[in-house]
Chains A and B, each alone.
Chain A
Amino acid sequence: MAEAPDEQLMLAYRDGDAGAFETLYARHRARLFRFVLRSIKSRASAEELYQEVWMRVIEARATYKPAARFTTWLYAIAHNRMVDHWRRAGLNAVSLDGIDVPADDPGPQRHMEGREALARFAAALEALPAAQREAFLLREEAGLTVAEIATATGSNEEAAKSRLRYALAKLKAAVVDG
């Protein structure tokens, strides 16, 4: 069961197999959490929204049909929850607080440069328009294709592709500058 595809696990959970959900949750918890956290400034709000997404998955298990990849369905739910969140609170950027630095210690000078480069990248990610940032995060965290990003965000492929390209161009510029 551990190697079973997501869709099969979800169907098993629909039929009452709680263990299938645990496997599914373990697969997606970290990526989904980062996607939500980097889309929303507040960690508390991110945790609340993250829990809402999973509750929605649990609630919708009875009507689940594997018409698309489970991942696309999961991130579509997350997208909808975030849209609701943004409507309530306005557009918020990702937080720069608590950025972890790689463990290797290349020396004080390199360490400072590394922190600055990472901060620049984080700032560039934060400065992205929400739709572009979401497209980038869906690509990086969820591993969705352009078509799947379009499906998850309720847009068309051209729009999704355009957002992803703009996001990559800005982030690439931030990396090169570093």
Chain B
Amino acid sequence: MADERDPKVSQRYRELGAEVPSRELDQAILAAAHRAADKPHAPLVTPVGRHRWYFSLGAAAVIVLAVAVTYHMQQEVPDPDSVAVPAAPEERAVDAQAKRPAEKPSPSVAPAPQPSAPEPARELAREPAAPPPQVFVPDPESQRQERQRELAREAPGARSDSVGAAASRPGTAAQAERRAEPGPAPAAKPMQAPVVEAPERMLERIVQLRKEGKHEEADKLLAEFKRRYPDHRIPENVVRP
């Protein structure tokens, strides 16, 4: 590479003068250098980017927003009783049978809403103008029946009847059921959900009692059955011969 320099130009440039910084400027710079050397690696200028006030403010705003949205969503959850889908009695009975060994304590009434029930209910709440799905159209008759059944289940006699019937059964099945009970914990019993027995199951029990000659118990159970399911057809072998 050619030397990009001209001697005459360089000489003329030197003739322009040899300015130097002032003494005060030199002292200020050297003093800053000494101060920095005393505090090794400490920046002369505070890094402002990492400690700006609006970072903390932004974080606080995000937290407040999250809490507000969560609270709002909780407020929007509808009352399960008002939108619960009434399940068929057979279906509920099967569920109750399946739940009985576990004896889960649950404060809610036995026909708890299906897990998918709140979701469409929330959709309904959000879109009131939209036509409700067929599954949510309340049938006045079924509602009335459902209400009656709930009242019956809430009555303390229903539970005691069920337990009493189980106790009266002979053999290992009743013993096993009794063993499955959580023991003498009367305080816990009111917390347990009342068991709803399917009508077919009740009829079977009545037939069984009749076979065993326990007609009085069978009559009681039949009366209870009639009270619970007044519209249900009663087979002949259930009625006392």
Contact = CB atoms under 8 A, between A and B. Distances in A.
Given A55-B29, A161-B4, A34 B12 contact: no
Interface string B1-21: 100111011101101111111
A118 B13 contact: no
A126 to B, nearest CB: 11
Given A21-B37, A140-B10, A99 B4 contact: no
B33 A58 contact: yes
A18 B25 contact: no
Contact of A30 (B20, B37, B44, B45): B20
Nearest to B24: A47
Given A13-B33, A59-B45, A51 B25 contact: yes
Given A55-B44, A172-B9, A175-B12, A50 B21 contact: yes
> How would you classify the secondary structure of chain A's contact residues: helix, strand, loop or mixed?
helix
A54 B29 contact: yes
A99 to B, nearest CB: 6
B41 interface: yes
A22 interface: yes
Interface residues of A, number: 44
B74 interface: no
B155 interface: no
Contact of B4 (A50, A118, A125, A146): A146
Given A18-B34, A22-B30, A58-B32, A100 B10 contact: no
B125 interface: no
A168 B6 contact: yes
Nearest to A165: B4
B131 interface: no
B170 interface: no
A37 B37 contact: no
Contacts of A33: 19-21
Nearest to A169: B6
Contacts of A174: 12
A154 B124 CA distance: 64
A58 B15 CA distance: 32
Interface of B: 1, 4-6, 8-10, 12-13, 15-22, 25-26, 28-30, 32-34, 36-38, 40-41, 43-45
11 contacts: A18-B34, A21-B33, A22-B30, A33-B20, A50-B25, A54-B29, A99-B16, A102-B15, A117-B12, A121-B13, A168-B5
